[in-house]
Amino acid sequence: MGFKMGIVGLPNVGKSTLFNALTKTAAAQAANFPFCTIEPNVGEVNVPDQRLDTLAGIAKSANIIPARMTFVDIAGLVKGASQGEGLGNQFLANIREVDAIAHVLRCFEDGDVTHVEGRVDPVTDADTIETELMLADLESIEKRRANLVRKLKGNDKEAQQQDRLLAEAQAMLEDGKPARLVEVDDEDLKAWKMLQLLTTKPVLYVCNVAEDESATGNEHSARVAEMAAAQGNSHVIISAKIEEEISQLEAEEAEMFLGEMGLEEPGLDRLIRAGYGLLHLETYFTVGPKEARAWTIKVGTMAPQAAGVIHGDFERGFIRAETIAYDDYVANNGEQGAKEAGKMRAEGKGYEVKDGDVMHFLFNT
């Protein structure tokens, strides 16, 4: 299990440049005019995790298979998108299909790159996009509630639950707030997710700054940081231009380039970590001579469900999970050493998998 993150923002804020960097391709045309991205570009990238390389080295694994993450470069939204302005409705439909939103905000000054509103104000830009998504949600809710009237008269339980949740979302939106702020009970979570409202998607603000500000940020990114903190959202500071340059370099050259820019790691790494945190994801590993592999799960996943990420039979026939914590695996130079040191544990169905666990599942066929 990976996750799909949609890259959104106003035209000419650096979305396609960032996408090119993330996927190490030039598939998305990065041009200085609005709507250069018409169809959403989709790219899969490896999730960088040094722990996987370390484990593979210890186990002498023949293959290394990282976790994967999907990015969708969605064309630029504009004011009025909810009413079909620009290429609005098409893009709103693309957003419904992603798990989270990476909202790219222009935090750089450059007279050669046109801003669709003629000024640089990332907080106002963020508000423009959020408003369009909220208006689209309100329109969707009104139509859906109208379509539920007949079922409600027939006392349909599912329709009653759906209408109640839609009403709560509508009240929040009419109060000028996104639907993600609605407090949803556990028994309603599945139905709530099925509503697929745009403003329930978690948001990560990506501050796209100039190359010489990539390590420190600037006054624009500082304002975004304040806004994100007030909303309970996250933000990262990235120079999309730098990321695109790094993506074309060999590993040693990239490391030297990062050092010269005062950066410890590529922005991709920060972006993915922030994305993982946003969706409450973590990684466990399976390691052996044939392959070392990373698997993505939700925080709080129990052992049988974690096994099911590999194959449904593993979950259905789950017996137990032989588990070694990452640090114990490394400290004892692999599975055999960890076993001899008493660091391998037999965990049952009630075990909550921890980030970094090295696991081997036993199951009935």
Binding residues: 12-17
Going by C-alpha positions, the residue among 60, 102, 116 that lies closest to residue 288 is: 60
Alpha helix stretches (DSSP H) within 195-266: 219-231, 240-247, 251-260
- Residues flagged as binding site for ATP: 12-17
- As given in the structure block, the two tokens for residue 53 are 């390389």
Strands 281-287 and 4-8: unpaired
Angle of CA points 248, 249, 253, to nearest 5°: 165
- As given in the structure block, the two tokens for residue 40 are 């959403």
How far, in Å, are 150, 285, 349 from residue 305 at the CA level? 38, 14, 9
* 8 Å CB contact between 280 and 267: no
- As given in the structure block, the two tokens for residue 323 are 């588990």
Cβ-based neighbours of 110, under 8 Å, separated by 6 or more = 210
CA atoms within 13 A on the CB side of 310: 23
Q: CA dihedral in degrees (227, 230, 232, 237; nearest 10)?
A: 30
How far, in Å, are 57, 238, 338, 345 from residue 341 at the CA level? 20, 43, 5, 11
CA dist., res. 200 & res. 133, Å (int): 10
- As given in the structure block, the two tokens for residue 23 are 């996927």
Measured in whole angstroms, how far is the alpha carbon of residue 66 from the centre of its chain? Answer: 16
* 8 Å CB contact between 295 and 306: yes
